[in-house]
Amino acid sequence: MKKVTMRDVAERAGCSKATVSYCITNRRSISEETKARVRKAMNELNYHPSRERKARGGGHKVIAILVNDFYYMTPGGLLDLIQEKLYSKGYLPAVFCMPHDANGRQQILRSVSKNISIAGIINMASQVEGVDLYKWNNGLPTIINCRDSDLSPSRLDYGQITRICANAFLEAKRSKIIFCIEDHCINRPVIQWYLSTFAQIPELSCRTVLLPKAKLSVEAEENFFKEIRELFAEGYNGVLAQSVFFASLIYRLAADEKWNIPKDLSVISLEDSLLGGYLTPPLARIKLPVEHMANVLLQALEERLDANPKPFSYDQLAPVLIPGGSVK
């Protein structure tokens, strides 16, 4: 069977090969009518730019992995596990740390899409949406981790995570909860999902405390501690931390103020990091089935790399709480 090339798409769409390339890479302004013809031709011919990249040789087995940052990246070592599995299958993972600003993210996505050595993308960065990937991925096979998107093979019920944490707090007789969040994350759908679920639990009162972790300073940290102290004085004695980083700050403050964890204050982290187990007392944290998550992601990606994608069954993940010793 003859391999479909960009030239074949150009002939079917009635335009030049350069125009097809520009439509794919968004490097020049092309009319919507022409873009529609090119997309139609690509679909009819089942053309994928990544296949032509493979035909040209080179390091075509590189997989780009997009992450939030190098302090709060992925749950429970998922990034390390995915990299190990990619290596074992002959792929070379390349990790890209996505900046907080939209322009910076677009620049990285453009550079990834134009790099002919990259064969596919795994998106684990919560600030990169499916619409961004459709716009900038240049037709590369793309998978998103745990998102309500047609590019994601798995789903995570964030409401269930909230209820697990709420039950743990209520069992510890903590009805006033402080939710510690990075300031730039407050409007993300996942965080709003947590907050809306808390609002539906009448036994609990939840207040948010924000910290500009991306631009952390002594002043910002002191303001953060001041808010926690004020809320603790008002009877707020449960803390839900977005990450182990936030939990470690609470542990430090508790030591300074001589608050006992878990006697005076209960702490749960939404991030499952091994570091949490080394805190004293060991940190209670949400654990996700990372081995299963990694297998689902890689299977879905390989199907797309082989141009044999199957409809997603939208695997529903089951989180659990690692009790630790920070919740009595």
Ordered by start, the domain boundaries in the chain are 1-47, 49-152, 158-288
Residue pair 260/198 in contact (Cβ under 8 Å)? The answer is: no
**Structure confidence by residue, pLDDT tens digits, 135-188:** 877 778 888 888 777 788 888 888 889 999 999 999 999 999 999 998 888 888
Same fold, 1-47 and 158-288: no
Name the pLDDT band for 72 (thresholds 50, 70, 90): very low
Q: Is the pLDDT of residue 54 over 70?
A: no
Check: CATH 1.10.1380.10 for 49-152?
Answer: no
d(CA 168, CA 284): 10
pLDDT of residue 224: 94
**Structure confidence by residue, pLDDT tens digits, 73-124:** 455 678 888 999 999 888 899 999 888 788 888 889 888 887 878 888 999 8
Superfamily, domain 158-288: Response regulator (3.40.50.2300)
pLDDT of residue 247: 94
Lowest mean pLDDT among 27-31, 47-51, 116-120, 289-293: 47-51
Q: Under 8 Å CB-to-CB from 322, ≥6 apart: which residues?
A: 272, 276, 284, 285, 286, 287
Does the bond joining 49 to the residue before it have cis omega, within 30 degrees of 0? Answer: no
Residue 299, Cβ neighbours under 10 Å: how many?
12
At 110 the three-state DSSP class reads: helix
Check: CATH 1.10.260.40 for 1-47?
Answer: yes
Residue 293, Cβ neighbours under 10 Å: how many?
24
pLDDT of residue 27: 52
